[in-house]
Amino acid sequence: MIIQELKGKVPEELIESASRRGISSLTPPQEMAVDAGLLKRKNIVIAAPTASGKTFIAELAMIKSIIWDRKKAIYVAPMRALVSEKFNDFKEAYPYLKAAISIGDMDSLDMWLEKYDMIFVSTEKLDSLIRHGIDWLSLIGTVVIDEVHMIDDAGRGPTLEILIAKLRRLAKDAQIVALSATIGNSAELASWLGAGLVESDFRPVILEKGVELNGTVHYPEKEEKLLGSHKLPELRITQDTLEKEKQLLIFYSTRRNAESGAEKLSEVTESKSAKNSEDLKTISKEIINVLGRPTDQCEKLARLVSKGVAFHHSGLVNEQRKIIEEAFKANKIKAICSTTTLGLGVNLPAHTVVVRDTHRFDGFGSEKVSVNEVVQLFGRAGRPKYDKYGRALLIARSESEADDLTKRYITASLDEITSKLGALPMLRTHLLAFISTSFLTSTESIAGFLEETFYGYQYSDYSRLRYITEEILDELESWDFIEREGSRYKPTKLGARISELYLDPLSAKWLVDALPHALDEDSILFIISNTLEMRPHLGIIKGAEEEIIPYMPILRSSEVEYAEDPEKVLSTSMMLKEWISEKSEREIAIKYRTTPGAIFSKITNADWLLYSTMELARVLKLRTSKMLEVRVRVKYGISGELLDLVRLEQVGRVRARILYTNGFRKVADLKKDGTEEKVSSLLGAEVAKKIMAQVRNPSENR
């Protein structure tokens, strides 16, 4: 079906936008979706490979909903990077529609969103908005749930599942369009949603899946002798790919393996990157200058990028990841060695994809990577508009292993997804939210709602659901987060605030019990570090076993028990203490055997927890001044003496220290005659001009 045949079925603006982007006809899954009632506002589940056109299916429903039905369209995805990418794509395609993105600040109603047509949100953010009582749910015409297979994820799945079930009640007239490339039981999911099902194996770029063994790739129906002569499989595959003037992604199970892999690949990529050497030098400088003082990891990454290869994992800071992704898209970087996180977020295809590790350590032992995850990673192979086919490869060390990998991953069917909602910790936070928002207020209504979830659909065990519900409600009541009124429950003031803050009630119980002991910066940092939201904690550093002793009374003050070692909690809080003592990222990374990405992740979480702790303290009528001071110091990474200076825009930890060292101890010190010239010599004319404008007009200070 050509796009022009949709005239009269979709807004003209959609047809014009598609034509501008070179979309002239529908792919088979897109045509099947139209035939299944997509444009008649029917719920649809799309189970089709990566790059088969699922996003345009969502676009058809969203734009029709906005322009013709005068309703809002909501795009929901579990990963922030994916939400941001889709927001930018849609905003570029429809600049005249009002598009908004909201993926942060869980304690905000974001009332401004009501004015927008297209709203792009993370799963947790939309759930948080509903908890805060948004009043525009009835204005939603279409909800797109991308990566809906994440229901199967133990960490994020329960929130996604609860969110979908909530939307079906609270926005009952909204059309649901669920997208995934990896659902083995898509018919069951569609049945739960009361949706039409579109299943397709169409792919615009042919995907050839095989297993490499001794320099030969064994596909189900043919073999391919790889170019090159290297004995190490990854290097041989890299040689072959670069000889074809293509790019590749190699996925590893750990960050260490990814970095080691990139070191090895540089032996091959360097010689093939000569014509891009100047561009790579520029990119390398960008990477190394992201932090004020580069860490060993920054230097390693920059060195490898100059050779045409990069590693990519959560240990990098966001800006470094973005630089790598853009350089790869521009064909400057030839190969990326990554952990599996890159396979789940942004759209970053390559001609060849290798999944090097099919086992990972889960904390207890080695486990096999699921078929669905491997298929998700394989989906990155083959670049539309550039490749006629893509290669997705596994690596074997013997013929028996090659046979096993072929049966397990190459020719196997997708795994079925299952609800992960049955675990008590997963449900605790959601039941508190039900009661806090008056969505559900009795044991019967909660258990009845849980029957409507995918968990209830799959297991149909009402007695089990009621038992779980009663156990959690008893716990929340004993913690004074809810109280009973006859057969119904209502939130206490404390419980309602905990739900709004999007805290796990277990963490909140710990914070409430420990708050009276939050007397100084050390105890405050320790208390927020001993929460679920700060996991995984850092490894135990030298001396932590002795230094934990003064904190034992705080740990004993709460009935909440944590499985984590207290020494790990202390080590994490000690890292934060180093940060607010103005130690550099490099020093912290070395001492705590961690990475810049992990450091900033902990700082971000600590900022949120400090805010939440202050809010709980206000409810409990406890003093918050010291917590506020610590929060500002954590945000900027500064000692207490710099607190006044960082009130100024353009002034962070580095510039504040420069000003302080040169005699400017307070903002008031910058008001003296001749100051601007001195500040200009210290920080540059442009920065000095902006700083002095704030000094002259204090209302401009942040």
Q: Please state, as a whole number, how many other Cβ atoms lie within 10 Å of the Cβ of residue 539.
A: 14
| Rounded Cα–Cα distance for residues 548 and 567 (Å) | 6
Q: Are 293 and 343 in contact (CB under 8 A)?
A: no
Q: Look at the chain and report how many structural domains it folds into.
A: 5
- The tokens describing 232, both together, are 């190490």
The answer on 560 and 437 residing in a single domain is no
- The tokens describing 396, both together, are 């074997």
What integer pLDDT is reported at residue 468 of this predicted model?
87
The answer on 618 and 494 residing in a single domain is no
The answer on 285 and 245 residing in a single domain is yes
In a domain, 586, yes or no: yes
SS3 string of 637-676?
Answer: CCCHHHCCHHHCCCCCHHHHHHHHHCCCCCHHHHHCCCHH
Strand partners, 405: none
| Rounded Cα–Cα distance for residues 623 and 608 (Å) | 18
State which H helix or E strand residue 550 sits in.
none
What integer pLDDT is reported at residue 13 of this predicted model?
96
The answer on 76 and 100 residing in a single domain is yes
Residues in the chain, overall count: 702
The answer on 429 and 330 residing in a single domain is no
What integer pLDDT is reported at residue 354 of this predicted model?
97
CATH of the domain at 593: 1.10.3380.30
Q: Which of 590, 607, 637 is the last residue of a domain?
A: 637
Strands 216-218 and 223-225: antiparallel
DSSP 398: S
Burial status of residue 135 (CB atoms within 10 A of its CB: 0-12, 13-18, 19 or more): exposed
| Rounded Cα–Cα distance for residues 190 and 183 (Å) | 11
What integer pLDDT is reported at residue 340 of this predicted model?
84
In a domain, 417, yes or no: no
In a domain, 155, yes or no: yes
What integer pLDDT is reported at residue 701 of this predicted model?
65
- The tokens describing 586, both together, are 């490099």
DSSP 66: H
Range of the domain at 482: 424-500
CATH of the domain at 444: 1.10.10.10
Q: Are 71 and 142 in contact (CB under 8 A)?
A: yes
Q: Which of 199, 230, 259 is the last residue of a domain?
A: 199
The answer on 454 and 392 residing in a single domain is no
Low-confidence residues in the chain, pLDDT < 70? 343-345, 362-364, 562-564, 699-702
| Rounded Cα–Cα distance for residues 81 and 84 (Å) | 5
